[in-house]
């Protein structure tokens, strides 16, 4: 048998290292979240495409670190049980509207919540008006533009 060409293993090691390195650099920064994970249909059959936050880690991450949120997109938080919850804007870079939902109905909207002015700033809490089982985050001013108001019906499919 010919002498094994160690160059193949060497290339494999280089590929691994490059891929691991790239995973650290690209994975967190690319397109921030997957905004095609779910579709929200609301009054008059209008639609929004949303990223989903289902797990504790996803809830904590939310839209942190995202530097833009195009119109028509948002993040949908799903809670297993109705929860009296407060959101904060840790590591957020963009202002948002927080739409509070219970049984697919909008029970309140906290509009134009600003991102923290500096990483060290004391973070204000934004409480839900009543226990919620889902929360929708969209760009600031979008709720009014899209005519999402208290009592609107929002249904998610994913």
Partner 1 sequence: MFYNLFDPTPLTQLHIIIAGTSFILVYLSLAIMLKQPTRFLRVVPAHHAVYFAGFVLVAVIALIAFVSIESKPLRFGLLSAAFLTLLIGLYDEQYSLSPRAQLIWQIMIATIVVLWGWRISYISQPSANGIIYLDQFTLGPLVWPASFLTIAWLLLIMNAINWLDGIDGLAAAVGVIALSTLSLLTLLPSVQDSRTLTLSLLGAGAVLGFLVWNFPPARVFLGTSGSWFLGLYIGLVAIMNGGKIVTTLLVLAIPVVDLFFVIIQRLFTGRHPWLGDKTSHLHYRLVRVGLCPRTVVIVAIIISLLLGVGALTLQTRQKIIAFIASVVMLSLISVELIWHARRS
Residue ranges binding partner 1 (CB under 8 A): 1, 4, 8-9, 11-12, 15-16, 19-20, 22-24, 26-28, 30-31, 34, 36, 54-58, 80
| Residue nearer to partner 1 on the CB measure, 11 or 123 | 11
| Residue nearer to partner 1 on the CB measure, 54 or 93 | 54
Residue 114 beta carbon to partner 1: minimum distance, rounded to whole angstroms: 26
| Residue nearer to partner 1 on the CB measure, 31 or 122 | 31
Phi, psi (degrees; rounded to nearest 5) at 104: 65, 10
Place of tokens 């739409």: 99
Residue 150 beta carbon to partner 1: minimum distance, rounded to whole angstroms: 30
Q: CB count, 10 Å around CB of 68? A: 10
Q: CB count, 10 Å around CB of 66? A: 21
* Token pair for 50: 């949303």
Rounded CA gap, 77 and 133, in Å?
Answer: 8
* Strands 132-139 vs 96-102: parallel, antiparallel or unpaired: antiparallel
Residue 26 beta carbon to partner 1: minimum distance, rounded to whole angstroms: 7
Residue 49 beta carbon to partner 1: minimum distance, rounded to whole angstroms: 11
Q: How far apart are the first and last CA of the chain?
A: 54
| Residue nearer to partner 1 on the CB measure, 38 or 97 | 38
């Amino acid at each position: 048998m010919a002498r094994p060409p160690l160059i193949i293993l060497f290339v494999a090691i280089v590929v691994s290292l490059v891929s691991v390195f790239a995973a650290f650099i690209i994975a967190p920064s690319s397109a921030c979240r997957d905004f095609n994970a779910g579709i929200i249909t609301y009054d008059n059959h209008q639609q929004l495409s949303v990223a989903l936050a289902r797990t504790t880690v996803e809830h904590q991450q939310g839209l942190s670190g995202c530097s833009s949120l195009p119109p028509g997109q948002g993040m949908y938080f799903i809670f297993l049980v109705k929860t009296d919850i407060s959101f904060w804007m840790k590591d957020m870079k963009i202002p948002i509207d927080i739409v509070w939902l219970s049984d697919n109905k909008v029970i309140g909207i906290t509009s134009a919540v600003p991102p923290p002015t500096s990483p060290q700033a004391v973070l204000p809490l934004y409480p839900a008006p009543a226990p919620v089982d889902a929360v929708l985050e969209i760009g600031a001013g979008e709720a009014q533009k899209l005519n999402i108001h208290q009592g609107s019906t929002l249904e998610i499919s994913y």
